[in-house]
Structure 1
């Protein structure tokens, strides 16, 4: 079936990135299979992560169907685009419908994108991973593809104004080797292994990132354990709970 919406949206995004002069550093895309189903799993630090995680699959000529909260599909602007790109709405009160939709897509040979932290991490560190991605991969018999993004929080993240200026922001994307999801293993064990792999990729992306904060006021996007002023994970959890 022709992709009447997805490919033009990709073209528009690439045009915007060129206008902003974003410096995208992508490595490891060869780990995404050219054919067949796979669950692409990424960390989540920005409202734009689905665009950049989707770009990771572009060299392999794959389109990623992301699972996203259903409110995005109800928005008058994003809703028609999300539906047109065949992304998967998630109603947390009826999660089984989204799970069944994603499973059907995987069995049809699609790549399904999942953010297992569920919400943006304001500490810019990994939050706990939900096991849904592992269970999907197990039931569909497909691999998990770990992805780490870094720098996207500097464009648009929770609690910060959008930066859509020509700011030359680097964005680092790292894709890792597939994580297998055998049906005879506990989903929790697979999820822990997957999170460890994403953590390794995230640290590699941070080491490769070519920019450091330019002054004391520019440390907000750097995690506390790396010397920045982003909230520590415990503080971020407290803020979310409150």
Structure 2
């Protein structure tokens, strides 16, 4: 592993130049201080060993879009750390609308200026992200859309390329590896003080010009290459592992499902969720009976008495 030093409690490359704190983002009371400090306390309590590589690819000022792989539920925390070591910058994450609809969490998300993604109105979400970037902010997007159960890079949506191109901003791949060992889908969570190592690698900007499908393929290749490099370094540093671990992909001898199997599991999950929503709607519709029908039912009960 490269020569590393501590910065803000995280391991960074010794060659990473120090930059002044961002004049605005580092002073945000809720996100920049309260939430970030709380996250640092949690990471320290769990003794999560976070090492960051390539953080110099994140601009110290100005807007950019970070395209992040999605392997677990800590990605919204871990994906912002490389920006934090670059002058305490903040990342505005794109997250599904349902999170914003939650009373307390939704209020916090809006206060931190994260971006609500309404899949039924994707153009509006992309426009909001573009405005944040053009205002000089960093935006984080998960172009795989959902957690990859296989821990490989899934098929990417073209939204990341479209947003970065429209904002004339760098599209920067960012890979998280090891976070799935803490908490993810279908695997027992490990939230104790288990000293789990996590690698976060930041790549060079990807060319977004030309056809969005072609540019998205370039992003896919960049993310896949960076993922392979990061996993290789991780295995070299902390392996060899026994084999069959559920958090490791089949390509490394792990027990995670293949991309094909993971896709079937994702489809089944979507069908279960849709069935649950349909059942809920049916139950709500059943509770809103016609007033006359409700009155007749009430009279019948009174007559029986």
TM more than 0.5: yes
Q: Which residue of structure 2 lines up, in the alignment, with residue 28 of structure 1? A: 54
In 2: Cα distance, 1:188 partner to 1:48 partner = 29
Secondary structure of the structure 1 residue equivalent to 2:176 = strand
How far 1:95 moved relative to its partner? 1.4
Unmatched runs of 5 consecutive residues or more in structure 2: 1-23, 269-305
Q: Which residue of structure 1 lines up, in the alignment, with residue 102 of structure 2? A: 75
How far 1:4 moved relative to its partner? 2.3
How far 1:215 moved relative to its partner? 4.8
TM-score normalised over the length of structure 2: 0.75
Secondary structure of the structure 2 residue equivalent to 1:205 = helix
Q: Which residue of structure 1 lines up, in the alignment, with residue 145 of structure 2? A: 118
Q: Which residue of structure 2 lines up, in the alignment, with residue 50 of structure 1? A: 76
Native 8 Å contact 1:141 1:181 kept in 2: no
Unmatched runs of 5 consecutive residues or more in structure 1: none
1:234 aligns to 2:260 (yes or no)? yes
1:143 to 170, 175, 179: 170
How far 1:213 moved relative to its partner? 7.2
* Structure exhibiting the larger radius of gyration computed from Cα positions: 2
Secondary structure of the structure 2 residue equivalent to 1:5 = helix
Secondary structure of the structure 2 residue equivalent to 1:181 = coil
How far 1:14 moved relative to its partner? 0.8
Report the count of equivalent residues. 239
In 1: Cα distance, 2:202 partner to 2:74 partner = 17
How far 1:72 moved relative to its partner? 1.5
1:90 aligns to 2:79 (yes or no)? no
TM-score normalised over the length of structure 1: 0.94
In 2: Cα distance, 1:29 partner to 1:178 partner = 12
Alignment RMSD, CA only? 1.5
Matches within 5 A, 1:154-233: 154-182=181-209, 185-209=210-234, 210-212=237-239, 215=242, 219-233=245-259
Q: Which residue of structure 2 lines up, in the alignment, with residue 6 of structure 1? A: 31
How far 1:77 moved relative to its partner? 4.2
Query: Which one has the bigger helix percentage?
Result: 2
Q: Which residue of structure 1 lines up, in the alignment, with residue 276 of structure 2? A: none
| Structure 1 outlier segments of 4+, above 3 Å | 212-216
Native 8 Å contact 1:48 1:156 kept in 2: yes
